[in-house]
Chain A
Amino acid sequence: MIIRDEVDAPDDEVIGSRAAEPIIALKGIVKSYAMGGVEVLAIRGISLIVERGEFVAIMGTSGSGKSTLMNIVGCLDVPTSGHYRLDGVNIRHLDDVALSRIRNKKIGFVFQGFNLIPRMSAIHNVELPMAYSGVKPAERRKRAVVALEMVGLGDRLSHFSSELSGGQQQRVAIARAMCTNPSLILADEPTGNLDSRSSAELMSLFTSLHDQGRTIVMITHEPDIAAYASRVVVLRDGEIVSNRPQDASNAVSYELAPSGRYSFGGSGDEG
């Protein structure tokens, strides 16, 4: 496959996957904020490759730039300088429409603060990304129900987010992130607000998504959560200070149902 400059990439090429290229390719990424005349460098020149099917954990002290990096990877923010190719596509010159399609179809984002739409039921929150990608209402509903059942919320479909616990809200957010079948799942401290048992349940959910071939990038502060990943990247002051693969099998195993219980198979098969 010939790799061209993607400046004028049409929609199909934006969405079409290039198996030959890494899913995330960051080169010399810099992000600075102007704070009252003073320039704050949140990220100072990060280069990172994430291959398809990897499970990467990003660690680092508070303020080291993890969220900033994640937002750039998730196309929610743009770097001040540097190159970013997502699935072989240079995102720098993409317009609002193309970026929306990428966020919708390729990326599932799980935020630290859940970011569910308030006063909207769990099922409607999960249906929303599918509504934006044009999935028919009946199909949408079926897939949302499957996703919510998979995260163990089959009995909370019409609850509003204000009527759910933090762990339940995070699981709704995960159901929302995976129901469009994205190839890349980004999670910013998904277990940050959860107890150890909910964290373990969540991690086996991520492990099964990983087993199905999805790429996962996850920010965490907890070493035992990072242990689930196949690679750990550590940031300090906006730079990568450590980047090493690890054997995911050394993850602490909790007493849990086998991870195979969580299976998410494409569009709408019964869970």
Chain B
Amino acid sequence: MATAFGNLVMAIRGIGSNWLRTLLTMLGVLIGVASVIVLLAIGTGSSQSIEKSIESLGSNTLTVFSGSSSGSTTGTKIRNSTLNTASVTALSNSFNDPDVKSVSPVVTTSVTATYNGASYSTSVIGSTASYLSAENYTVSAGRSISRADVAERAPVIDIGTSVASALFATGADPLGKQIQLGSSEFTVVGLLASKGSSGLSNQDAVAIAPYTAVQDQLTGESASFSELLVQGKSSATLSLAESEVESTLASLNDTTVANLPFTVIDSASLLSTATSSSQTFTALLGWVAAVSLLVGAIGVMNIMLVTVTERTREIGIRKAIGARRRVILTQFLIESTVISFLGGIFGVLAGILVSHFKIDGVTPVLASYSIPLALGVAISVGIVAGFYPAHRAASLRPIDALRYE
């Protein structure tokens, strides 16, 4: 009887007898496998970048907003419920607030920055030098805005890499150049090192100037700040710092901590909220990947079923000239295994290749489990879907297989 090797030769001849059909079948497997791998890589990549960008926000900071979270300020005697220089001075007192490292007032606005015809819309943060360290920004060239700049209300600015690359030609040195923000001119004194973009926002599309200058030139003179950024001495003492900030602000405003007209949020709780939402996102992408794996598997099944069923007559001929059922089954099993396997391998390669490109601003990160998962499902589905119709055809009487249309 025919040997195993003879079977293999026959199966390969069967595969080779219709290259187009074979290639199309392989393509079906390939696309199924590659799409699952890429989709899971996008999911992993974006959830990783969300986590990274949240970490880069700074892990031991408190943000103080105007407005009460409890909403029960009515009726209390509030002399001063805005965040102003007095609040900054009070919070900077190291006797009352021993666990606070720095307090930075924050004024934000959005403007269109222009230079030599190039323009870019960016958010401008007016603050002090301590803002940069609290938010984990570092200066890669030039200098940071200084205490003196704030005091002198100097129109100087540190710009992020996205702003720099949008306004200046590559190779040009932005330091010392005057850029136009709205109707005012600011001198670039420093470049911020890139923090990378996240799925949420581009942290390099930012410009930081002294808050005094921002108030003078952009937002208009005002006694209040939109928020205060408080940096704690360490993450361990952040909750101590939080209660110190609350009681200082309460006594400054002649009220109790319970009726404080401000909201204090710590970055750790922000982190945990964001982490849990990114986990939800990953789980969602997992479902999408599972559905696409299912769709891919159905595609593989469909194309295998069609191609093998199409060959029912061929199976009838083979039976009529003396092929045993087992020989036919072995041939088709080898054929569908080889096709699914080659398609699967090329699918993995294609998936890995595509995952090297940025897709919609997300850098995909290969999930190691996705490769055996996609390959395993595609190959087993391909084999079963190829084997089943071959088995059905081989079990027919030769005459019925021959008559099949």
Contact = CB atoms under 8 A, between A and B. Distances in A.
B258 interface: no
Interface residues of B, number: 25
B314 A118 contact: yes
A130 to B, nearest CB: 9
In this complex, the interface size class of chain A, counting residues with CB under 8 Å from chain B, is 20 to 34
A115 B1 contact: no
Contacts of A105: 322
B17 A100 contact: no
Query: Taking each of B1, B10, B17, B324, which has the highest tally of chain A beta carbons within 10 Å of its own beta carbon?
Result: B324
B233 interface: no
Interface string B133-170: 00000000000000000000000000000000000000
A61 interface: no
Contact of B13 (A124, A133, A176): A124
Interface string B1-26: 11100100010010001100000000
Contacts, number: 73
A44 interface: no
Interface stretch (A70-78, A149-157, A236-244): A70-78
B2 A119 contact: no
Contact of B17 (A75, A78, A119, A129): A119
B397 to A, nearest CB: 6
B401 to A, nearest CB: 9
A132 B322 contact: yes
A119 B307 CA distance: 14
B322 A133 contact: yes
B399 A71 contact: yes
Interface string B311-354: 00010111111111111000000000000000000000000000
A118 B17 CA distance: 8
A100 B2 contact: no
A118 B2 CA distance: 22
Given A131-B6, A132-B2, A104 B322 contact: yes
A269 interface: no
B322 A134 contact: no
A97 B323 CA distance: 9
Interface of A: 71, 74-78, 96-97, 100-101, 103-105, 109, 111, 115-120, 124, 128-129, 131-134, 137, 176, 180
